[in-house]
């Protein structure tokens, strides 16, 4: 499933094509994705100008001139294609025809994506957004915020990081990468990065910095082809740890049904 860096890359690409344009027509090629489209979906979007494109966690938010907000989640296989003729594919489910002649098509073979229209003024109250944690790339996300979110949590630290109420947009790949960069075991209890009073321990400062660094690096990588050496531990089971002087071997374990990659020697 796309994580924050991949969704941010999609946002930036769509912004270049859609910001400031008017949605001339919306074509729905089926009645639902993960859930049915809301009543009047197409009519609420047509003739609306796209004022801005934002991201909240793994969600895309298109602010419309009506005040409504188009909420989009890519699901596991969703993607956008931008072209002039809109040549159809069997998995093209939503087509946006824009006033500048461009056609933006949402393709989703597995249909786990989601689109909804949020009424003006109710964006933060939408069920997908109202419990979401801090944005990790915002200045407000710091060790204090992370420690407070993890305090008293008895679950493993890696599992806590995947909880969108703790950190918005962080997923399986970049949680593993951030923990390795911070030198923290994914199996340690989440509450150990905070004092009993909820104040940050040194581990919280290291982890906050690592999360920001990993995500910024990943966003920058979206502009070039993937290389196998891009990750420190993810999908590198059995390989030598990349930390200088470590000499450990990367292992893969299962946590909450997901694969976790880490170095048991340097991650404590």
Is-catalytic flag, 3?
Answer: yes
Per the rule left: phi > 0, alpha: psi between -120 and 50, beta: everything else, 160 is: alpha
Q: Within this chain, do residues 159 and 79 fall inside the same structural domain, yes or no?
A: no
Alpha helix stretches (DSSP H) within 66-224: 143-150, 157-162, 172-182, 202-221
List the catalytic residue out of 3, 6, 8, 177: 3
Residue 137 lies in a domain: no
For residue 122, what are its two tokens?
A: 């109710």
pLDDT tens per residue across span 29-45: 999 999 999 999 999 99
Q: Within this chain, do residues 159 and 235 fall inside the same structural domain, yes or no?
A: yes
Q: How confident is the model at residue 125 (pLDDT cuts 50, 70, 90)?
A: confident
List the catalytic residue out of 55, 58, 153, 232: 58
- CATH number (domain holding residue 210): 1.10.8.50
Residue 131 lies in a domain: no
Is-catalytic flag, 46?
Answer: no
Residue 158: other Cβ atoms inside 10 A: 24
pLDDT value of residue 122? 82
List the catalytic residue out of 11, 252, 258, 265: 258
Q: How confident is the model at residue 50 (pLDDT cuts 50, 70, 90)?
A: very high
Q: Within this chain, do residues 149 and 255 fall inside the same structural domain, yes or no?
A: yes
Q: How far is 171 from 150, CA to CA, in rounded Å? A: 16
Residue 25 lies in a domain: yes
pLDDT, the chain, mean: 95
Q: How far is 29 from 134, CA to CA, in rounded Å? A: 35
| Domain, as residue range, for 86 | 4-125
Residue 138 lies in a domain: no
User: What is the value of pTM for the model shown?
Assistant: 0.93
Is-catalytic flag, 58?
Answer: yes
Residue 156 lies in a domain: yes
Q: Which of 80, 97, 125 is the last residue of a domain?
A: 125
């Amino acid at each position: 499933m796309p994580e924050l860096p991949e969704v941010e890359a999609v946002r930036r690409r769509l912004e270049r094509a859609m910001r400031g344009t008017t949605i001339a027509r919306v074509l729905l090629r089926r009645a639902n994705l993960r859930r049915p489209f809301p009543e009047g979906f197409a009519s609420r979007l047509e003739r609306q100008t796209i004022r801005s494109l934002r991201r909240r966690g793994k969600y895309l938010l298109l602010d419309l001139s009506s005040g409504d907000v188009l909420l989009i989640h890519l699901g596991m296989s969703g993607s956008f294609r931008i072209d002039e003729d809109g040549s159809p594919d069997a998995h093209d489910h939503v087509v946006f025809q824009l006033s500048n002649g461009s056609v933006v098509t949402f393709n989703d073979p597995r249909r786990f994506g989601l689109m909804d229209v949020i009424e003006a003024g109710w964006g933060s109250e939408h069920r997908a957004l109202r419990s979401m944690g801090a944005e990790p790339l915002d200045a407000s996300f710091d060790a204090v915020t992370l420690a407070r979110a993890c305090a008293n949590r008895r679950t493993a630290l890696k599992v806590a990081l995947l909880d969108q109420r703790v950190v918005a947009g962080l997923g399986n790949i970049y949680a593993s990468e951030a923990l390795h960069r911070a030198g923290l075991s994914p199996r340690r209890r989440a509450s150990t990065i905070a004092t009993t009073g909820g104040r940050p321990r040194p581990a919280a400062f290291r982890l906050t910095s690592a999360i920001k660094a990993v995500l910024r690096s990943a966003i920058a990588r979206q502009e070039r082809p993937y290389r196998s050496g891009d990750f420190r531990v993810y999908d590198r089971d059995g390989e030598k740890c990349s930390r200088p002087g470590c000499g450990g071997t990367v292992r893969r374990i299962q946590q909450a049904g997901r694969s976790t990659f880490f170095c048991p020697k340097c991650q404590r």
